Amino acid sequence: MKLGMVVFAVAMQVLPGTVMAQSAGRPAVIELYTSQGCSSCPPADALLAQVAERDDVIALALHVDYWDYIGWKDTFGNERFTARQKAYARAAGEHMVYTPQMIVNGRASVVGADGADLAEVLAPVGGDAAPDLRLTRNGETLSIRATSAMTLPEGTVVQLVRYIPQADVAVDRGENAGRTITYTHVVMSWVVLGKWNGTAPLSLTVPAEGDQPAVVLIQAPGPGPILAAAEVR
Choice among 22-31, 35-44, 102-111, 191-200 with the minimum mean pLDDT: 22-31
Based on C-alpha coordinates, what's the Rg of the chain?
18
Query: To the nearest whole number, what is the mean pLDDT of the chain?
Result: 89
| d(C-alpha 74, C-alpha 36), whole Å | 5
Number of residues in the chain: 233
Quote the pLDDT of residue 120: 93
Closest to 37 (Cα-Cα) out of 29, 45, 49: 45
End-to-end CA distance of the chain: 27
Confidence class for position 164, pLDDT limits 50, 70, 90: very high
Higher pLDDT, 188 or 14: 188
Residue 6 lies in a domain: no
Mind listing the pLDDT tens digit for each residue in 170-197? 999 999 999 999 999 999 999 999 999 9
Q: Which domain holds residue 163?
A: 19-232
pTM for this model (two decimals): 0.88
User: What's the number of domains the chain is made of?
Assistant: 1
Whether the CA torsion 146, 134, 106, 84 is positive or negative: it is: negative
Residue 13 belongs to a domain: no
Domain-embedded: residue 5: no
Rounded average pLDDT over 189-214 = 96
Query: What integer pLDDT is reported at residue 25 of this predicted model?
Result: 58
pLDDT at residue 23, rounded to an integer: 38
pLDDT greater than 90 at residue 126 = no
Given a cut of 50, whether residue 10 has pLDDT beyond it is no
Q: What is the pLDDT of residue 112?
A: 87
Q: Is residue 141 part of a domain?
A: yes
Average pLDDT over residues 71-85: 97
Q: How would residue 127 be classed by pLDDT, with cut points 50, 70 and 90?
A: confident
- Residue 7 in any domain: the answer is no
User: Quick check: is 138 in a domain?
Assistant: yes
Asked, for residue 12, whether it belongs to a domain, the answer is no
3 has pLDDT over 70: no
The answer as to whether 72 is a domain residue is: yes
